[in-house]
Structure 1
Amino acid sequence: MTRSDVFLSPAEAARTVGISAKALRLYEQRGLITPVRSANGWRHYGPEQMAGIRHIVALRTLGLSLAQIAAVLSGESHDLDKALAEHQTRLEGSLTGLLDAIERVRVWRNDLSEGRAPDLADLVATPPALSLPLPWPWNSEIFALRRLSPVTYLVGPLGSGKTRLAMAMAEALGGGFVGLDRGEPDELPAAALRELEWLLEDGAVDSPALRAVLAGMVSEERPRVIDLVEDGLDEATQLALGGWLRRRGEGDAPLVVMTRTSAVLDLDAVSAGHAILYCPANHSVPFEVLAVAGSPGYESVANCLGTPEARARTAGMVARMAP
């Protein structure tokens, strides 16, 4: 048997293309990929299926919903052309920033050649995007974020103070804090309606809870901080919302999203440029965690996340702390 003839298990196939087994199962449920069945009924993936999975992953990276991907795979090109145009715009924006950075380095080198030393503080450090004294239960230690990502996932165990941190971040950013008392808006703005359409195409279930959280995330250009984004949403909607968040990139208003579900924060599929912020149980200073197994804090974040079914069993639990 040659390497090209190898058939992979679901776990091996998912790992090969860098997605979760859960995402692979979702693609199958939506009819985007059909595995080969062995005599005993086990699912396997050969070269043809792996090529199809890579195609789907590439289209997801461009921001297409599963419904749009199904249309593209059936031969329709409108959604793909629109997605490519948006992706081109994002790339051109990144290129502009890179060219500016190259020009700054050129100026610094020119200064050096003429005997003028560049300002080292300007050369190696930039002011943090966010800096604030931490509220209780911390001891006013300074917390800083070097940059605001399109999406920052805020994770921590019960009683870690993450809600207080979220509220303090919203105030420091001059944005808005969207708490759990969010009510369904009378009318969604046009931008939110467009995103709702994408979510529904991706399998979300329309509900007052979805409309409320979407209004809080989309209706403002300033940074927004969202408390427990999955509150009141079923599993299908949480999965679609996780995919929607992963589409966000440079140019989108930054979001800080508190979550405790693996449906929203899939550690195997975190988008490049997105961030994970962890609040330790011992109330040490929150820190950023890389979505890489074995990196500091990774296991702690993974242990805070659960499936929607598991999270539902702990719904309503509140950690009691002194005021």
Structure 2
Amino acid sequence: MAPTAPALSPAEAATRLGISIKALRVYEQRGWLSPQRSAAGWRVYGPATLARAAEIVTLRRLGLSLAQIGRVLTGAGGDLDVLLAAHHASLTAQARSLADTLARIQTLRADLAQGRIPTQADLARLAPPAQAVTAAFDLPWPWGGERFEVRGLPALTYLTGPLGSGKTRLAHCLAEALPDARFLGLERPIGPAAALMTADPALAARVHRALDWLTGDGANLSDALIALVTGLEAGSPAPLVVDLVEEGLEAATQDALGAFLRRRPPGSRPLIVMTRSSAILDLSDPGADSAILFCPANHSPPFYVAPHPGALGYEALATCLAPPDVRARVGRLRVKRVS
């Protein structure tokens, strides 16, 4: 008889699943998980509960909101089918690209076996094609006028850096340099947003769909959230640069907003969002079609950072991000010092 797998504590279960303890509590509150209790009354997670939690985590990583997951778990698979179809199309495209590269490698190896040395052109074809320059400009103060180039735009670009690093100036430069781009500033009053939705029913429908997703994922509805989402949904498909996207949003809403931004598929309107919140920019899962643009504290030119430890700039990037509650405390302290 096989030994029974030991039950795990919330911390152990969260570590194994790659999520937070808070996420486990949310799933329990929604009735999706029923952890057992130890003799001392503590929650413990046995194999069946862990398997159920793993299903939920997989659905979240596929991009489903909590509301959609709830429907899937009760047998309504429409949301899952649409998402899996998009995921299938994306993976198929990647597979075709990999198959083409593998075929070229196989040809080169066959040539080597015959004593033919590949040319530089042969080797260059193995690399992905260089992206064209989307925008280029000279960096303003506090930099020294260095030339900065944007090559391609993913669905989501995070723009971050410590205080005083020049990221706001860079955001304005990007909005001016990118073709037809728009800048969504820090002041986002509800009045103009409401007027836009009243004048444009299609926009109002998009905003309400997005808000339904966000609130279903734990966001708290507020004027700040409505105004932000209206700004994200309004206008043309041209790039949108957003100043401090988490402004005015509390922790649960930032968590939901981060997931909402990450689930945007390739080909979506390019967003460049300035943030210092680790709920918005989750370095463990920044999104499939995303990039991170970092402004260093020493006013070196901004550069792109890969989201994994050891990458150039990763440690500096990680230290300038903070959870929403920490950011809120720092903000209150700053206000007290000023006053």
Task: Determine the structure 2 residue equivalent to 1:13.
Answer: 13
Report SS of the residue matched to 2:149.
Answer: strand
Alpha-carbon deviations, 1:76-126, whole Å to 9, x = none?
Answer: 2232223323333444555676678789999999xxx9x998498777551
| Shift of residue 228, structure 1, vs aligned partner | 0.7
Task: Determine the structure 2 residue equivalent to 1:190.
Answer: 205
Structure 2 distance, partners of 1:202, 1:133, is 41
Task: Determine the structure 2 residue equivalent to 1:144.
Answer: 149
**Structure 1 residues 227 and 6 mapped into 2: Cα distance closer, same or farther (>3 Å)?**
same
| Shift of residue 213, structure 1, vs aligned partner | 1.3
Structure 2 distance, partners of 1:226, 1:193, is 20
Asked if 1:242 is matched to 2:258, the reply is yes
Asked if 1:269 is matched to 2:285, the reply is yes
Structure 1 distance, partners of 2:106, 2:271, is 34
The answer to whether the 8 Å contact 2:246/2:254 transfers is yes
Match of 1:291 among 299, 307, 322: 307
The answer to whether the 8 Å contact 1:170/1:176 transfers is yes
**Structure 1 residues 69 and 53 mapped into 2: Cα distance closer, same or farther (>3 Å)?**
same
Whichever residue aligns with residue 73 of structure 1, its letter is L
Bigger shift: residues 46-55 or 293-302: 293-302
Bigger shift: residues 139-148 or 203-212: 139-148
Bigger shift: residues 57-66 or 93-102: 93-102
| Shift of residue 16, structure 1, vs aligned partner | 2.6
TM-score by length of 2: 0.79
Whichever residue aligns with residue 241 of structure 1, its letter is L
| Shift of residue 281, structure 1, vs aligned partner | 0.7
Structure 2 distance, partners of 1:210, 1:146, is 31
Structure 1 distance, partners of 2:8, 2:151, is 41
Task: Determine the structure 1 residue equivalent to 2:112.
Answer: none
Asked if 1:312 is matched to 2:332, the reply is no
| Shift of residue 289, structure 1, vs aligned partner | 2.4
Bigger shift: residues 286-295 or 70-79: 286-295
Task: Determine the structure 2 residue equivalent to 1:321.
Answer: none
Whichever residue aligns with residue 279 of structure 1, its letter is C
Q: How many residues align?
A: 317
Report SS of the residue matched to 1:60.
Answer: helix
Structure 2 distance, partners of 1:254, 1:29, is 35
Bigger shift: residues 99-108 or 10-19: 99-108
Match of 1:225 among 238, 241, 262: 241
Gapped regions of structure 2 (runs ≥ 5): 110-115, 198-202
Structure 1 distance, partners of 2:168, 2:3, is 50
The answer to whether the 8 Å contact 1:63/1:247 transfers is yes
Task: Determine the structure 1 residue equivalent to 2:168.
Answer: 163
Q: Percent identity?
A: 51
Task: Determine the structure 2 residue equivalent to 1:173.
Answer: 178
Task: Determine the structure 1 residue equivalent to 2:200.
Answer: none
| Shift of residue 50, structure 1, vs aligned partner | 2.0
| Shift of residue 167, structure 1, vs aligned partner | 1.3
Task: Determine the structure 1 residue equivalent to 2:51.
Answer: 51
Whichever residue aligns with residue 194 of structure 1, its letter is R
Structure 2 distance, partners of 1:148, 1:241, is 20
Report SS of the residue matched to 1:260.
Answer: coil
The answer to whether the 8 Å contact 1:20/1:269 transfers is no
Structure 2 distance, partners of 1:172, 1:103, is 39
The answer to whether the 8 Å contact 1:132/1:142 transfers is yes
TM-score by length of 1: 0.83
Bigger shift: residues 290-299 or 227-236: 290-299
Gapped regions of structure 1 (runs ≥ 5): 319-323
Task: Determine the structure 2 residue equivalent to 1:23.
Answer: 23
Whichever residue aligns with residue 290 of structure 1, its letter is A
The answer to whether the 8 Å contact 1:209/1:232 transfers is yes
Task: Determine the structure 2 residue equivalent to 1:84.
Answer: 84
Task: Determine the structure 1 residue equivalent to 2:33.
Answer: 33
Whichever residue aligns with residue 259 of structure 1, its letter is T
Which is greater in Rg?
A: 2
The answer to whether the 8 Å contact 1:170/1:224 transfers is yes
The answer to whether the 8 Å contact 2:101/2:126 transfers is no
